[in-house]
Amino acid sequence: MNSLYPLKFKPIFKDKIWGGQKIRTELGMDFGNLPNCGEVWVISGVEGNESVVENGFLQGNELNELVEVYMGDLVGEKIFDKFGNEFPLLIKFIDANDWLSVQVHPDDALAVKRRIGQGKTEMWYTLGADSNTQLISGFNCEMDKETYLKHLKESNLKDILNYEDVKKDDVFFIPAGRVHAIGPGMLLAEIQQTSDTTYRIYDWDRVDEKGVGRDLHTDEALDAIDFEKKKSYKTTYKSDINSTNEVVKCDKFITNIVDFDNTIYKDLEALDSFVIYIGVEGDTILIWDDGEIKISKGEAVIVPALISQIELIPKTTSKLLEVYL
């Protein structure tokens, strides 16, 4: 009988007004005739954009179908009990050739109230950044709803936003409710809840070839925004070589970074969760009892929950993001 194995999926390419060419030039993915590619979804359970397996005997099956069939063996018993047949995380790579819209995402409570599924907490890991690259995360001063609305009405929202300089390997955690925007020159991996709900607040006065701007959602965003100013917006973490280092831990996901040049043995049995490995540098061979699979920069693999022991062998010095619930 065929048993579950680490799964790779066909990439889902997204043409975006702000997208560039780095998905092709730096990650080696062919996005065909699209003029640009702003996002590639490498693991998705989002309705209408479900990932399709590209390796092994399950090739051609959609991810959520496999969750329905294999249940806890694939995702972990506690996770299947909570999320049912929907895979709970969405993994993307994003190439920003221009500013993304200033936006915010709802939390779980607001999403339930509005009947739009899950909220959207996310994090970014920077694979590369051009010189002078910046992003927006949160506010640069003490903020409240009235002050925010005054700046929005007077079209000077940019004056109250917090800009952060960005370099390779930087991490930013973006909980639901935090106003944010990715800036031009960034190539990043995004880990998020399974949700495609985005409330655009400001889109830099852009218009398409017909002179039409994208829709804004300023009213919907108002109840979603967390107005509290934070002391720091960038995530600090250790990256000790040949060890697993925690980067982000929240109730939506845990992300570690594995930076290594020697074989690492992993015991995953106690997690009761699938584990996603995302290649952000170099090439890695992942070995389990029944076989092996290569993870290159720009690829992601789901290791099913029933696989308890694996080896990670770097072909050169490599970095992986390790994600689970």
What is the C-alpha to C-alpha distance for residues 155 and 150, in angstroms, rounded to an integer? Answer: 9
Tokens standing for residue 11 = 């990439």
**Residue 25 Cα to chain centre, angstroms:** 20
200 catalytic? Reply is yes
Cα separations in angstroms, 89 against 48, 127, 132, 302, 321 = 15, 20, 31, 11, 14
Contacts 24+ apart (CB under 8 A), 149-154: 149/222, 152/201, 152/202, 152/218
**Which residue in the list 114, 115, 178, 200 is annotated as catalytic?**
200
Q: Give the Cβ contact number of residue 248 at 10 Å.
A: 22
Three-state secondary structure call for residue 273: coil
The two three-digit tokens of residue 204, written as one number: 């830099």
Distance (Å, whole) CA 178 – CA 139: 9
Cα(304)–Cα(106) distance, integer angstroms: 29
**C-beta of residue 17 within 8 angstroms of C-beta of residue 207:** no
Element (H, E) at 294: strand 291-296
Strands 89-96 and 186-193, bridge-based pairing: antiparallel
Size of the chain in residues = 325
Neighbouring CB atoms inside 10 A of 197's CB total 19
List active site positions: 200
